Amino acid sequence: MYKTKSGEEIFIIDGHVHLWDASPENIKNIHGKQFIDCFFGYHSALSPPEQVWTAEKFAKYGVEQMEKDLFIDGPDDMAIMNPTYLKDFYKNGFNTIEQNAVLKKRNPDRIILNGAFDPRDGEGGLEALHAQAEIYKIKGVKLYTAEWKGNSRGYKLSDPEAYKYLETAEKLGIKNIHVHKGPTIIPLDRDAFDVADIDHCATDFPNLNFIVEHCGLPRLDDFCWIAVQESNVFGGLAVVLPFIHSRPGYFAKVMSELLFWLGEDKILFGSDYGIWTPRWLVEKFMAFELPDELVQETGKQLTLDIKKKILGGNAARIYGVDIEAQKAKLRHAEMAVA
């Protein structure tokens, strides 16, 4: 639990975390090596120097390290685990629901476990989605539209095949659709992360929430013009937040645009662990204020109440988490451990 200097508690739901395996033993080909090296490049370039890991630790940090960084040394009360399969690059997958379920089993009250689907998997993929809903009781999925599969180098959520999956997700009560729409990761294609397909599916599926991870960067304007029209489109701050250290002026500009167009109720905190750890991100975010010139231009500020919404309140609302009940449950668990 994060506490302000005045002692006020802020409930934090980390909206975007992973438990991956990019160890040499799991890498399938050169593309798996390229992918994790690109992640490590972002980690090294945008983190404070004292927060940079070794490449070996970064490739496979494991369950216990993740628990320590999120819940023991870190400020997270809960975290949403989003799988990214990449089975064309990694023998056993990069970050599967089965891997993530290990952490869920160890921390049932702290982990929200999401699934995944790929419309190129056809009827077999629909059956797998049903199985995820039955076994893991998932409320959300993570989609990676630029993922390679055989000769295909991506898909669009506006494709007819994708609509079959979205229809199935809605029927199964899987309401939260997290979609990677952010910076390119080598060797994936930049255009396969374009945000235009969100415009189609958000209109056609008004009962689903579309959480655009990374806020479409570097396509921020396109994303904002879509999200301001679609009440069910949200912005996930993973990748945006680390600029608070390396490019604070750029971060201020992005946050001002998000607050102006989306509003304070549609922005979700995400650390993107293990690219970054949440403690330093939360501490810098809590200390951050928007420059006066941007406040005058947009009329938007980062007040404490707005920060509380971004850090946990908004995610709690769309995932149906009762924050006060959850606080009591976690306190009871901590007392039992003590």
Q: Assign 328 to helix, strand or coil.
A: helix
Pairing relation of β-strands 176-180 and 115-116? unpaired
pLDDT in tens, 39-81: 999 999 999 999 999 999 999 999 999 999 999 999 999 999 9
- Looking at residue 110, its pLDDT comes to 97
CA distance 152 to 166: 20
CA distance 72 to 141: 26
CA distance 336 to 333: 5
DSSP character for 15?
E
Rg, the chain, Cα only: 19
In this structure, are residues 268 and 15 in contact, taking their beta carbons and an 8 Å threshold?
Answer: yes
Q: For residue 18, what are the contacts with CB-CB under 8 A and spacing of at least 6?
A: 81, 82, 83, 84, 95, 100, 272, 273, 274
- Looking at residue 6, its pLDDT comes to 85
Percent of the chain with pLDDT over 90: 94
Q: Is the peptide bond before 32 cis (omega within 30 degrees of 0)?
A: no
Band of pLDDT at residue 307, cut at 50, 70 and 90 = very high
- Looking at residue 338, its pLDDT comes to 38
pTM of the model: 0.96
> Is the pLDDT assigned to residue 335 strictly greater than 70?
no
In this structure, are residues 79 and 14 in contact, taking their beta carbons and an 8 Å threshold?
Answer: yes
Band of pLDDT at residue 36, cut at 50, 70 and 90 = very high
CA distance 23 to 89: 12
Q: Which of 101-115, 130-144, 323-337 is least confident?
A: 323-337
Structure tokens of 72?
Answer: 């023991």
Total of domains in the chain: 1
- Looking at residue 334, its pLDDT comes to 65
> Is the pLDDT assigned to residue 93 strictly greater than 70?
yes
Q: For residue 44, what are the contacts with CB-CB under 8 A and spacing of at least 6?
A: 52
CA distance 13 to 313: 8
Please compute, for residue 96, the number of CA atoms within 13 A of its CA located in the half-sphere on the CB side: 11
- Looking at residue 97, its pLDDT comes to 97
Band of pLDDT at residue 5, cut at 50, 70 and 90 = confident
Element (H, E) at 40: helix 30-46
CA distance 294 to 210: 28
Average pLDDT score over the chain: 96
Burial, 287: exposed, middle or buried (Cβ in 10 Å; 0-12, 13-18, 19+)? exposed
Structure tokens of 107?
Answer: 């921390």
CATH code of 108's domain: 3.20.20.140
Band of pLDDT at residue 312, cut at 50, 70 and 90 = very high
At which residue do the structure tokens 């999925």 appear?
A: 141
pLDDT in tens, 147-175: 999 999 999 999 999 999 999 999 999 99
> Is the pLDDT assigned to residue 337 strictly greater than 50?
no
- Domain hosting residue 81, numbered range: 2-337
Distances, alpha carbon 32 to alpha carbons 85, 93, 231, 271, 304, in Å: 11, 10, 37, 22, 41
